[in-house]
Chains A and B, each alone.
Chain A
């Protein structure tokens, strides 16, 4: 009897362990499927027109997403300008200065902000920026995206600042440097690799956001000069084109998806590589 039981347990062992392997490789396979589809469908449609032309009137083929590409870059710039200083400074505060309870409150609130669905952030940006000035604008989109950049930046800045060994700080202070001097000239440079990667990851994350832009940046068929006009963006164009019936628009949606994904993945992979190389010198 026990021999049968033993055989069964061994059998179960092999089956279950194999299944876990299948699960892991299966999930990885999904990633490659996604990449594959985008490269296949998007690659076919990528051409010079796509990068240089404005959208054509409805139903006409050709045309491109030049304004959406530039638009996404402008929005990222705005998000960076608005979100990064807040995130970086708050991260410095938490790592270098914070009192116990206040820090806890800040961290908790930051996590809270991180968990807010992006569509809700869009509602907030709409009532904060769009309504008072009666204008959809790049700025409103930047505010929404900037709000999303803050928590990610705070978290990574704090983490990398904390990783700087205390000995570095003590050494500087022993030499007579003030707290701020120490931070600015010793601690920050030591952590800069990690902080920059955190910034890049935050930007990569918001580059793909669509929902908050739907009623802040809106969209624009033309170039959007300055900052106070509606502006086109890659994610919004992908959404608009994907749900429409025109085959030409579908083509362009795939191409845009490929461009967007490429940007996001390059940022993610690039920062990982930088981090793992810098990792050795961090722990020294």
Chain B
């Protein structure tokens, strides 16, 4: 009996010290899955450069990021759907938005026999997600894709099951593309989807589309690239079909007239012949007041790094860099964090 207690105590002591270095500064963050690939890269690189700072980011969806930040269980959050005026008003703490990268939401699909790029009109995407267009050989789709043999199969629609900024971006675009969508469903991180299966995170949606023939889903560009799944071109406000890439996203951002002071802006359905219509910024949500000096300095340090060195990793992972004007504005805004 006594021996067991001694062993238990030793195990306890061992476990308590396992992994403890010279007590690093731990920051917990959670939120969007949209930028998860670049964030995980950044936090990894930053940790290697600053071994005493550990930023544990969990990709649980933008809704989760907002929620956990407000509950105070994480030090900062991340979301691709900027918080609404209502949400900001109801929040017990003041929250600042800091754009990090520019990304694209793309329609990815898995249609046996179709390997090229499909063109999607705005009406087509809205119809598919409204449930009014149910088959791949619907005229709205075929007329934009002459020469492609589309099967008469039912379309398996995939959307997000969790609160998602990617959903926000996509539904924001659909609300602009279709009045029907705007009135029936609206935009948000979690909407009442008329049809479809739910996948958890960008990861879940990509996984479902990859495994389910005849399916369509909306995900961030990098997820399609990393998993070699095809994605289509989307018709922009100027009527042109654009395939998502860095140039298209940058053009959409450039068409934005002025970045508001609080950095909350929507660039979906941007004007311009080369703009990719489902582009968006994504934001880190930082509390305006951080009482812990160590954490505050670490976060500010990371932000400064992110705006300069961090941006160099963007393009390698198919995210576009922030426009110079935005970077300048943000660098000034970092001082708002007290």
Which A residues lie at the B interface, using CB under 8 A?
Answer: 56-59, 67, 70, 73-74, 77, 81, 130-131, 134-136, 218-227, 229-230, 240, 243-246
Q: Report B218 CB to chain A, min CB distance, Å.
A: 14
Cβ of B149 within 8 Å of any chain A Cβ, yes or no, is no
Which residues of chain B are near A220, meaning CB under 8 Å? 56, 58
Other contacts beyond A131-B71, A225-B19: 8, CB < 8 A? A59-B222, A77-B15, A135-B73, A218-B30, A218-B58, A221-B58, A222-B19, A225-B23
Which B residues lie at the A interface, using CB under 8 A?
Answer: 11-12, 15-21, 23-24, 26, 28, 30, 36-37, 40-41, 43-44, 47, 54, 56-58, 71-74, 199-201, 203-204, 206-207, 210, 222-223, 226-227, 229, 317
Assuming the A-B contacts A58-B41, A59-B37, A243-B203, are A226 and B28 also in contact, with contact meaning beta carbons closer than 8 angstroms in the complex? no
Assess the A77–B12 pair: CB atoms within 8 A: yes
Task: Give the dominant DSSP class at A's interface.
Answer: loop
Tell which of A70, A227, A243 touches B199, judged by Cβ atoms closer than 8 Å: A243
Q: Report A172 CB to chain B, min CB distance, Å.
A: 17
Which residues of chain A are near B72, meaning CB under 8 Å? 134
Which residues of chain A are near B36, meaning CB under 8 Å? 58
Which residues of chain B are near A240, meaning CB under 8 Å? 203
A73 to B28, CA, bound (A): 22
Assess the B207–A227 pair: CB atoms within 8 A: no
Assess the A73–B15 pair: CB atoms within 8 A: yes
Assess the B206–A245 pair: CB atoms within 8 A: yes
Q: Report B55 CB to chain A, min CB distance, Å.
A: 9
A63 to B15, CA, bound (A): 22
A78 nearest CB neighbor, chain B only: B15
Among all A-B residue pairs, the 4 with the closest Cβ atoms: A223-B19, A244-B203, A225-B20, A245-B206
Which residues of chain A are near B37, meaning CB under 8 Å? 57-59
Assuming the A-B contacts A74-B18, A77-B11, are A244 and B58 also in contact, with contact meaning beta carbons closer than 8 angstroms in the complex? no
Which residues of chain A are near B47, meaning CB under 8 Å? 222
A240 to B199, CA, bound (A): 12
B37 nearest CB neighbor, chain A only: A58
Q: Report B254 CB to chain A, min CB distance, Å.
A: 28
Assess the B18–A70 pair: CB atoms within 8 A: yes
Assess the A221–B203 pair: CB atoms within 8 A: no
B15 nearest CB neighbor, chain A only: A74
Q: Report B128 CB to chain A, min CB distance, Å.
A: 21
A73 to B18, CA, bound (A): 11
Which residues of chain B are near A130, meaning CB under 8 Å? 73
A244 to B200, CA, bound (A): 9
Assess the A57–B18 pair: CB atoms within 8 A: no
- For this complex, 30 residue pairs linking A to B, each with C-beta atoms less than 8 Å apart, are A58-B36, A58-B40, A59-B226, A70-B19, A77-B11, A131-B71, A135-B28, A136-B74, A218-B28, A218-B30, A220-B58, A221-B40, A222-B47, A222-B54, A223-B19, A223-B20, A225-B17, A225-B19, A227-B16, A229-B26, A229-B28, A230-B28, A230-B56, A230-B58, A243-B199, A243-B204, A245-B207, A245-B223, A245-B226, A246-B226
